[in-house]
Amino acid sequence: MQEFKVVKTRPEPEKKVGKHIITVKVQHNFGVLARITGLFAGRGYNIESLTVGRTHEPNIARITIVVDGEERVVEQIIKQLRKLIETLKVRDITELPHIERELALIKIHTENDRARDEIMRLVNIFRGKVVDVSQDSYTVEITGDDEKIEAFIDLIKPFGVKEMARTGTLAMVRESAVAKEGVLD
């Protein structure tokens, strides 16, 4: 068909993939977490971490979600999160100045005194704490952002990690940014 001779195309938006930190304020009703995780699961998206906790306001919980994915899909998920009846505020704070913290409990094998000394030194450098001791293990508590915790794990891996639990990332926009950008938290 002659009208169709020329192939014309819409400019395609570039595909950007990356880590996103999303904070969500919700009414703390039962089932709200299932609604949120369902949005990710239904799109075949893995949540890297998700933390929930109460806030100073009654019946309001705050959720921090870390997700790795394509910009467009993450944007769509954020819009879907906003659509949920029980969400009060959804923000992608990745690009804003913010504080990230995670807590990890790591049970490390302590083969001998040398290992114990070495681990203690690393714990001190990373400002961690030994919170439980046994004949052949230290349980260490360490806080920091994802990068710091990963670095610590890398260093103590050779000693043998017996068990590990991590809270997942908590995040908050810095007050300076809140004031500057006029965004309310």
Q: Site residues (CB under 8 A) for other proteins?
A: 1, 3-5, 7-10, 12-13, 26-27, 30-31, 34-35, 38, 42, 75-76, 79-80, 82-88
The CB-of-17 to other proteins minimum distance in angstroms stands at: 17
For other proteins, the closer of residues 35 and 162 by Cβ is: 35
The beta-strand segments (E) located in the chain are 17-27, 47-54, 60-70, 87-92, 98-109, 129-134, 137-144, 161-166, 170-173
For other proteins, the closer of residues 12 and 113 by Cβ is: 12
Residue written as tokens 């203690």?
120
For other proteins, the closer of residues 59 and 134 by Cβ is: 59
The CB-of-44 to other proteins minimum distance in angstroms stands at: 13
The CB-of-8 to other proteins minimum distance in angstroms stands at: 4
Whole-angstrom distance, CA of residue 93 vs CA of residue 156: 31
Whole-angstrom distance, CA of residue 1 vs CA of residue 15: 33
For other proteins, the closer of residues 60 and 161 by Cβ is: 60
The CB-of-126 to other proteins minimum distance in angstroms stands at: 39
Report CA 175 to chain centroid distance, whole Å.
20
CA-based angle 71:76:81, to the nearest 5?
125
Q: What does the longest C-alpha to C-alpha distance in the chain come to?
A: 84
The CB-of-154 to other proteins minimum distance in angstroms stands at: 39
With beta carbons less than 8 A apart as the criterion, state whether 40 and 77 touch: yes
For other proteins, the closer of residues 72 and 174 by Cβ is: 72
